[in-house]
Amino acid sequence: MALNGKTVSVNSIIERVFRDVGTVENVDLPDVIEWVGECIELIGAPISCSDKIEVIDVVEGRAFLPCDLYSVLQVRDNKTKAAFRASTDSYHGKHNAETVDQLDSVSLTYRLTDSCIFPNYNTGKIELAYKAIPTDGQGFPTIPDDIKFVKAVEYYIREKVDYKLWRTGKLPMQVYEKTVQEQLWYIGAAQNRSKMPSIDQMENIKNNLIRLIPKINQHSNYFADFGQPEQRYNTNDGNNYLGNEVDRDEFFGNL
């Protein structure tokens, strides 16, 4: 995940492919765009997606999901700002409340199905925080400006082109197999690249793991202080050392 945050349009990658493989017959731009989307999903790296927040209307117990959604991060009510949980109820939606005012904050749940989100009330607005497939000004998908991601997408497109040529007898098997080998290597490299946290991300991981008192209620505040260090106080010598620890009795009293 230690990427630079920059993205590159697939236009340059498409131009590189067509330049390197020469004239390609019966390959349309919409097909290539679809292949790029397939490659991004195969890599499966959330870091390659954009973070978005969208307010959507709930009508008759459902709201339509955004068309660019890759994965849902969190859901909260737009009015109360209370976080939803994923439903564990086998009869979710059977006895919906009419509005959020009829539910307490710990009872808000949702379910995802049929390109919709179903909260457990019938009317209102919800805020959806999600990972979206990023696009440029022309609507073409973009990918992280990292050589491993760029080469993974490039060779995924090349494999699709070479497969058509091989099936029609215009390309030797050895050439096609070499393209497949390169494709698999670069997709694996991109997957591994996305798993490497940056120094700042590792600091959050360290702060969350090295604690005397675990934080168990982070979901309700959307994990905003998930990476804050624990504060410890030493009063034996009369000095207080800054550090994020509440009184133990107070902490367990609030569970």
Residue where a domain terminates, one of 132, 151, 183: 132
Domain count, the chain: 3
Residue 73 burial class via C-beta count within 10 angstroms: exposed 0-12, middle 13-18, buried 19 and up? middle
Do 114 and 171 fall into the same domain? no
Which are the contacts of 201, defined by CB distance < 8 A and separation ≥ 6?
Answer: 1, 2
Q: Which residues contact 127 (CB under 8 A, 6 or more apart)?
A: 53, 54, 55, 75, 76, 77, 78
| Nearby residues of 47 by Cβ (< 8 Å), 6 or more positions away | 1, 3, 144, 194
What average pLDDT does the segment 213-220 reach? 82
Q: In this model, does residue 238 exceed pLDDT 70?
A: no
Claim to verify: residue 116 and residue 148 sit in the same structural domain:
no
Whether 2 maps to a domain, the answer reads no
- Interatomic CA distance for residues 46 and 67, integer angstroms: 17
pLDDT for the residue numbered 233: 66
pTM: 0.75
Tell me the two tokens of residue 142: 């973009």
Same domain, 63 and 119: yes
Which residues, including other chains, have CB under 8 Å from residue 32's CB and lie 6 or more apart? 10, 14, 17, 157, 160
Given this model, what pLDDT does residue 243 score? 47
Place of tokens 């991109």: 190
The gap between the terminal CA atoms of the chain, to the nearest Å, is: 33
Statement to judge: residues 84 and 183 lie in one domain: no
Say whether pLDDT at 250 is over 70.
no
The β-bridge relationship of strands 85-86 and 109-113 is parallel
